[in-house]
Amino acid sequence: MKTKAGLTVAAIVVVVALASMLLPAFSASRTALKPGWDLFSPEQDIEIGKRLAEKVPTQMPMLENRRVDDYVNELGQRLAAHAPGYKFPYQYRVVNSPAVNAFALPGGFIYVDRGAIETVSTESELAGILAHETAHVALRHGTSQATKAYAAEIPAALLSAWLGSNSSLGSSAMQLTTGFVLNTAFLKYSREDETQADILGTQILYDSGYDPRALARFFEAMEARNKSQPIEFFSDHPSPANRVERIMEEVEKLGGPEPGYKEDSRKFHRIQDYLRKLPPPPKDQKPQG
C-alpha cells in the first residue's frame, strides 16, 4: 500500500523508528554530572542542613514576609521538581539584606537575599539564581567540601576506619554544626563546583520551562555592575573562567530554548514592586562569617 506521497507504509514505519532512535541521542547531549566523593549520606545532608538552618536567623535578618517567601518557595519548588539525584526536601526563604547574593545549605535549605530579587530584570533571572543554588544541593557540594576538609586533616588509616562507622561520622558532622557560622566549610565552593552548578542550573532552567540563557544574562549584568560596585555573590561564589561562554555552550547542547519557554511573569514584577515598598533592610546587618 502506498500513501499519496508515494511512500509505502513500511517505509514510513522505518522512518518513524529511526527518528525515535535518534531522539535519545539528542536529549543525551547535555553534560552528565554527578556528586563527587562524600563521606556523608544524603540523609545526613538533611540532618546537617536542618541544624544549620536553625542557626541562620541568629546570624542573618530574615524577611519573614509570607507573601514574598511563598512566591520564592513556589518558584523554587518548580525548579526543584527537575533537580536530579536524591529527592531532598527543598525549601526556599528570603533574607532581608540589600546584597545581591544567595546560598544553599546541605539537604535543600536555600536562601536568597532580598537585594537579588529587587535587582534582577526578569523572573527567569531569579529562577537562574535559585536553580544554581539548587544545583549545589543536588550535587551535594556542601558535604563534599566538608569531606575534603576532613581528609586534609585526618590520617589515611583513621579516615578509612571512619568510613566504616556511620555513627562516628554522624557525630562528627553534628559537632561541625555546633560552631557553625556562615561562610565556613559547608559553603566554601571551588571553581569546579561553581562550573558544575552553572551547568546543572542551566539544565534545571531548561527542564522547568524557563529560558536556559537567563543564568548567563544574570552573570553578564552582575559582572558589568561588579566593576564599579563589588557584588557579594562573586565573593562567596568564586567565578570560573569563561563562565558565560560555558553556560551558553550548555544551552547549545540542550538544543536552545524550548518553544514557548517562560521568560517573565506579572507575578514576579508585582512581588518586586511590593518588596521595594517595604521598609528597607536593617543597616546593622549581622556578619555572615
What pLDDT digit, counting tens, does each position of 43-87 carry? 999 999 999 999 999 999 999 999 999 999 999 999 999 999 999
Confidence of residue 161 (pLDDT cuts 50, 70, 90): low
Map out the domains of the chain as residue ranges: 1-30, 33-277
Q: Model pTM?
A: 0.83
DSSP line for 27-92 = HTTSPP------SS-HHHHHHHHHHHHHHHHHHS-B---HHHHHHHHHHHHHHHTT--SS----EE
Residue 17, pLDDT score:
44
